[in-house]
Every structure is written in structure tokens, then in C-alpha cells.
Amino acid sequence: MIHSIQELQARIATVPEDATISVNLKDLIFIYKAIEECRTFMHNGANYPTLKEVSEFIGNRDEGMYSILNHIYVNIFDGLLTKDQEDL
């Protein structure tokens, strides 16, 4: 698992700075809003005074943030990257 910005940056260091892909705007906004929701939840400790609130926020495959992230991973990201790119 990656635990820092530096670890993630090191992992993708071989990706050329000028490499690009094309993403549907509606999909990009969906991804943006999911990240925004995660950030909003985690930014305020009052949102998760106990593990119960964290568990409810994360949810499962059918509801909660996990279901949203899973949708992005399976339905939006599928086919955007080559296998080699996914394996970085």
C-alpha cells in the first residue's frame, strides 16, 4: 500500500511528463466530485468521532464511498490505461 505522496510519485516516476490520455468530461467531473467528497469528509474530524461513522462513509460494494470508488475503477478507468501502466 502507498502511504505518502513521495511513495506514489516514485512509483510513477517513469511516466513521461508530456504523456496524456483523453477522458470524457462527465467522467472526469464524477471522479473530481468523488475525491471532493472524500476530502470533505476527512478534512473535518467532527465527521468521524468513532469508527462507526468511518465505516458508514466507506460503505460496501452497494453503497457508500467504496461503491463510488469501485464504480470509477471498474467502469470509468477500465480501458483508459494499458496493463503496463496499471502495473506501475
pLDDT of 82: 87
How many domains are there within the chain? 1
Residue 61 lies in a domain: yes
pLDDT surpassing 90 at residue 79? no
In a domain? residue 64: yes
| Reported confidence tier of residue 24, pLDDT bands at 50, 70, 90 | very high
Q: Which domain holds residue 33?
A: 21-86
14 falls within a domain = no
The label of the residue with cell 483508459 reads 80
In a domain, 75, yes or no: yes
In whole angstroms, what is the distance from residue 15 CA to residue 20 CA?
Answer: 10
pTM for the full model? Answer: 0.86
Residue 31 resides in a domain:
yes
Residue 10: inside a domain:
no
